[in-house]
Amino acid sequence: MQFRYSLLAFIFFSITVWVISAEPSNAANNKKYGKPNIIMIVVDDLGWSDVGYNQTSSYFETPNVDVLAQQGLVFDQAYAGAANCAPSRAVLMSGQYGPRHGVYTVSPSTRGDAKTRKLIPIKNKRGISTDVITIAESLKTVGYTTGSFGKWHLGPDPDEQGFDVNVAGSHQGMTFNYFSPYDLPNIKDGPKGEYLTERLTNEVIEWVKSSKNQPFFAYIPYYTVHTPYQAVVDKVDKYRKKGINDAKQATYAAMVEHMDENVGRILNTLSSEGLADSTLVIFTSDNGGYRMSSFPSPLRGGKGSYYDGGIRVPLIVSWPGKIKPGLDHTPVINADFYPTLVNLAKAELPNQVLDGVDLSRYLLGKGNIAERDLFWHFPVYLQAHHASTDQGQDPLFRTRPGSAIRSGDWKLIQYFENNEFELYNLENDLAEKNNLVNRNPQKLAELKAKLKAWQQQTDADIPTKLNPEYDPVLNQQLINKVLVN
């Protein structure tokens, strides 16, 4: 009888061990298929200088992002596909420049005083068409489970464009409450006072734990650090004591710290769940941040501007054991994520034009990034945010309709109203103060030709119709009035 029980126990134990060993771990699955999990963190309106490893002041505290920067590859000349929310996200999700999908701004395109707009701008699309194949849809073709946690801003619901799970994503471009109740679609309010960034992170962590036995793509477009500026009082007081006199700016610094803490929670979860070595982590921003007096930046302009302050963003790419840590000065753009991730996931490229380039061989140390030009197109108007700090071409608009190209160290901006150009050498003039149009006509002609060829290639809509409401005298008077004050 004792032998019988011992035999049964042995059989039960053997079956249990077989079942457990037969349940493939995420790391084993990924090693077998050569596919990484993907965590893409896109902070809203986080400025290029507004992270600890890259800041120009001593205020920001981002220890978790700083550790990620030490462990990953930092691109210090990374660009968003546009200078504000929706169009940048459209470039990222589609892999296409603006003229191909028609998302140029946050609707409408007729922003600012009509009497100061010389042209009738191109009509803006509110989101990308469901005919566009997104990154998520391409990843799903090779077995990825996909989740979006936060701001979508490209249509009514990301579950219509490749995501299995959607938490808090919709057409809505911002939250009005960082503390519950949130009054946001597609998320249930939590306990009163719950902080949105922490709640979204909770959702990510639970989803990652439940999804870890297959490759996953977690897209985490936090609503933070977009306005309204709201943070825990103790954190705000901490930054007031550090010397930030402006309450809103102290709150902004506190929101950056909130964000960093939650990035740390995600990274800790990857470690505790045994997923760190099989997960590619991308950390970036959707566009530049608002310029604030407490946080000086070497870049000109901020969110909404096509000077580098509006489009240059922090970017860290980390995959332990696969991507060698370091600092890279190569200009890249968020359109590059699409072909890169599709290749790393061993998926087929979609049947649509992709304007980004595949960086996967470079990331894995197997090749270089070929030199190429980067482009932006903004055939609409975006009114000034805070004229005295915007550093725009003029104080009435963060930008007027135009296009831009970066070619090597050179950058050319074209303004459509009067066909004006600005030419800068970013290696010698990071702040874009010295317009070299008159001093370097040869480079001007070269970049003008490249920009025109790209506009024609992409069939870019360029506004030409005059606005009958435009008052040139009033426009100049308003400009002079702001400049005097």
Instruction: Please give the share of the chain, as a percent, with pLDDT higher than 90.
Output: 91
pTM over the 0.75 mark:
yes
Distance, in Å, from the CA atom of 150 to the CA atom of 433, rounded to the nearest integer, reads 37
Residue 240 confidence (pLDDT) above 70: yes
Q: What is the per-residue DSSP string for 8-24?
A: HHHHHHHHHHHHHHHS-
Q: How many CB atoms lie within 10 A of CB 172?
A: 17
pLDDT in tens, 35-48: 999 999 999 999 99
Band the pLDDT of 7: cuts 50, 70, 90. very low
pLDDT in tens, 305-346: 999 999 999 999 999 999 999 999 999 999 999 999 999 999
Distance, in Å, from the CA atom of 112 to the CA atom of 79, rounded to the nearest integer, reads 26
Listed in sequence order, the residues at least 6 apart from 134 whose beta carbon sits closer than 8 Å to its beta carbon are: 93, 94, 128, 161, 162
Band the pLDDT of 10: cuts 50, 70, 90. very low
Mean pLDDT (whole number) for 91-97: 98
Strand order in 326-328's β-sheet? Answer: 165-167, 145-149, 216-220, 37-43, 279-285, 315-318, 73-75, 326-328
Token duo for residue 24: 């493939």
Band the pLDDT of 484: cuts 50, 70, 90. confident
Which pLDDT belongs to residue 1?
44
Instruction: Please give the share of the chain, as a percent, with pLDDT higher than 70.
Output: 93
Which pLDDT belongs to residue 31?
56
DSSP 141: T
Distance, in Å, from the CA atom of 474 to the CA atom of 197, rounded to the nearest integer, reads 44
Residue 13 confidence (pLDDT) above 90: no
Which pLDDT belongs to residue 55?
83
Q: What is the per-residue DSSP string for 206-241?
A: HHHHHHTTS-EEEEE---TTSSS----HHHHHHHHH
Residue 11 confidence (pLDDT) above 50: no
Question: Higher confidence at residue 56 or residue 130?
Answer: 130
For the CA atoms of 164, 268, 90, 404, the dihedral, rounded to the nearest 10 degrees, stands at -170
Q: How many CB atoms lie within 10 A of CB 425?
A: 16
In 3D space, the residue among 334, 364, 216, 325 whose CA is nearest the CA of residue 278 turns out to be 216
Residue 165 has, within 13 A of its CA and on its CB side, a CA count of 22
Active site residues: 85, 153
What does the mean pLDDT of the chain come to? 93
pLDDT in tens, 194-217: 999 999 999 999 999 999 999 999
pLDDT in tens, 417-476: 999 999 999 999 999 999 999 999 999 999 999 999 999 999 999 999 999 999 999 999
By residue count, the chain amounts to 485
Mean pLDDT (whole number) for 146-156: 97
